[in-house]
Amino acid sequence: KAGVTQTPRYLIKTRGQQVTLSCSPISGHRSVSWYQQTPGQGLQFLFEYFSETQRNKGNFPGRFSGRQFSNSRSEMNVSTLELGDSALYLCASSLDLLGNTEAFFGQGTRLTVV
Amino acid sequence: KNQVEQSPQSLIILEGKNCTLQCNYTVSPFSNLRWYKQDTGRGPVSLTIMTFSENTKSNGRYTATLDADTKQSSLHITASQLSDSASYICVVSFAGGTSYGKLTFGQGTILTVHP
């Protein structure tokens, strides 16, 4: 059974640009959640999508957005990139709602903003 | 404010020794508490997940305990191996209202196992 797949693995963008990251969950999983990991702040919850609906949102500005498609695949978008957005972005998939079930993480996308 | 605090920040032990990592949280109400292991450059991997009514859960050489009254959890690693070198992260799932399922992460404990 394939795990959670995130693409691309590495990305370099310029300040002010926008970026889209992709996450393919484990087959059959309906929840996809996104996280930002930095050395200073650790892991922080961005948002959760379940059945194409955003269920929960962390404390991030509106520049961070996401969506989920009918096949449960999810994308995360960051607009007007800032240097502080440089981080490892992780997604996780869960069979059911994130709060009820185990989350399986992908390898992450390493975003560098220059 | 819902928070998760882990101690120590880092720990160095010799192979074969046991160790215990601590997690204190203020998240309330909570539905479950999780421990993850994260190797450098990789995504976290789940070790245990405990609901508020569970006191202990084991996964091989890893045993997690939970005291919901004192809002404390610990992760005990027995007979450590070099491959246990990683960051161990405590995560609490919020169980309140419209933010049900929102996860709050501790900063992690970096464990280094020396031969």
Question: DSSP states of A68-105 as a string?
Answer: E-TTS-EEEEE-S--GGG-EEEEEEEESS-TTTS--EE
pLDDT band at B9 (very low <50, low <70, confident <90, very high): very high
With a cut of 80, say whether residue A36 has pLDDT above it: yes
- Residue to substitute from B37, B42, B102, interface A, most A β-carbons within 10 A: B102
A42 to chain B nearest CA, in Å?
Answer: 5
Q: Look at residue A99 in the predicted model and tell me its pLDDT.
A: 84
B102 to chain A nearest CA, in Å?
Answer: 6
Percent of chain A with pLDDT over 90: 86
Q: Look at residue A106 in the predicted model and tell me its pLDDT.
A: 96
Lookup: tokens for B110 = 């970096």
Q: Does B31 touch chain A (CB under 8 A)?
A: yes
Q: Are A83 and A14 in contact (CB under 8 A)?
A: no
Which residues is A77 bridged to in the sheet? A20, A65
Q: Look at residue B99 in the predicted model and tell me its pLDDT.
A: 74
pLDDT tens-digit map of B32-88: 999 999 999 899 999 999 998 899 999 999 999 999 999 999 999 999 999 999 999
With a cut of 80, say whether residue B106 has pLDDT above it: yes
Q: How far is CA A56 from CA A61, A79, A88, B49, in A?
A: 14, 20, 20, 20
Q: Which residues of B touch A58 (CB under 8 A)?
A: 102
Task: Name A19's Cβ contacts closer than 8 Å, sequence gap at least 6.
Answer: A11, A13, A77, A78, A81, A111
Q: Look at residue B38 in the predicted model and tell me its pLDDT.
A: 96
Q: Which residues of B touch A106 (CB under 8 A)?
A: 43
Q: Which residues of B touch A98 (CB under 8 A)?
A: 93, 101, 103
Q: Count other C-beta atoms under 10 Å from residue A34's C-beta.
A: 24
Q: Look at residue A1 in the predicted model and tell me its pLDDT.
A: 65
A39 to chain B nearest CA, in Å?
Answer: 9
Lookup: tokens for B14 = 């010799």
pLDDT band at B15 (very low <50, low <70, confident <90, very high): very high
- Residue to substitute from B2, B103, B110, interface A, most A β-carbons within 10 A: B103
Q: Look at residue A98 in the predicted model and tell me its pLDDT.
A: 87
Pick the residue from chain B with its C-alpha nearest to A43. Answer: B105
pLDDT tens-digit map of A68-111: 999 999 999 999 999 999 999 999 999 998 888 899 999 999 99
Question: On the CB side of A5, how many CA atoms lie within 13 Å of its CA?
Answer: 8
A107 to chain B nearest CA, in Å?
Answer: 5
- Residue to substitute from A34, A36, A45, A101, interface B, most B β-carbons within 10 A: A45
Q: Are A35 and A18 in contact (CB under 8 A)?
A: no
Cross-chain residue pair A48–B101, CB shorter than 8 Å: yes
